[in-house]
Amino acid sequence: METWNGTVSLLIACIELLLVFNLIVFSEKNTLNKIAIVMIALLAAYQILEFLMCGIKLQSSFFPYFAFVIISFLPPLNLLLTLKLKPELELKLLKKIIFLPAIFFIFYYSITIPQFAVTSCTVLYATYNYPFGDVYGFFYYLPILISIILLTIFVKKENDKKKRFVGKVLLFGAVFISIPPVLGFSLMFVGSYSLISAIESVMCKFAFVYALCLSFVCLYNSPFKDERNYFKYLFSNK
C-alpha cells in the first residue's frame, strides 16, 4: 500500500489545476474571482508538494517548509475574500494585519528549516514535524474562525439574494474545512493525537470541496455570456 502514498494528493492536484485553467478562461477577472483563483492554485501547489514528498519520496526539509509557506497564505486570503463581499466589511486595519502572522512564520521558519520533516505518509495524508505547532495553529485557524463569523453575519443581513447565495456557498465551504480541526482538538482532549498531527494535510484534502465552492462562486460571479455562466443564468430565472 506504501507505493500508493500521495496518490490522492496527485489526483486532487490535477482536478484543482483543471479548475484553475477553467476559471482563468471562463470567469470574469474581478477582485473576488482573482483571490478565489489564487487560493485554488495554492491548494493545487500544496497537493503537488505532498505528492512529491510522499509519492516520489523527496524528503528534504525544504519541501515541507515550502508546503507550509503555501498553506500559511490560505486563511488570510480566505478572510480577504470574505471582506471583499461587502465594502462595509473591509476594515482597513484588518486588511493591513491579516497577512502579518503568515509573513512572520514564513520568515521565522526560513531560519529553522532543518526542523521540518515529513514524519509519515499514507494514501490520504501526511504528518509533519515543525516548530511551535500550537502557536502556528492558533494564528492559522483564527482567520478561518473570523471568516465564518463574518459570513454568518453577512448571510443574515444581506438583502441581495445573489450576494447572499454566494455568502452561503462560502460559509458552507468554510464550515466544511473546519471539521478536521474540530474533530482533531476533540480527540486530543480524550488522549488521541493521530488526527491533530496530520491536521494540515487533512484540511487541505477537505479544502478540495472548498475549491469547488470557490469555482462555483467565480462562475456565478461572472457576467453571463454564452455558456460561461450557466449557473448565474439558471438561478436568476428561478
Q: Which three cell numbers stand for residue 218?
A: 467565480
The residue written with cell numbers 472548498 in the block is: 210
Bin 72: left if φ > 0, else alpha if -120 < ψ < 50, else beta. Answer: alpha
The domains of the chain, with CATH numbers, are 2-236 (1.20.1070)
Beta bridge partners of 200: none
Q: Are 58 and 9 in contact (CB under 8 A)?
A: no
Band of the pLDDT at 201, cuts 50, 70, 90? confident
* Residue with the larger pLDDT of the pair 95 and 65: 65
* Residue with the larger pLDDT of the pair 189 and 123: 123
Q: Are 125 and 201 in contact (CB under 8 A)?
A: yes
Nearest to residue 44, comparing CAs of 227, 234, 215? 215
Mean pLDDT of the chain: 86
Average pLDDT over residues 32-57: 94
Q: Are 36 and 214 in contact (CB under 8 A)?
A: yes
Does residue 35 surpass a pLDDT of 90?
yes
- pLDDT of 115: 92
Does residue 227 surpass a pLDDT of 50?
no
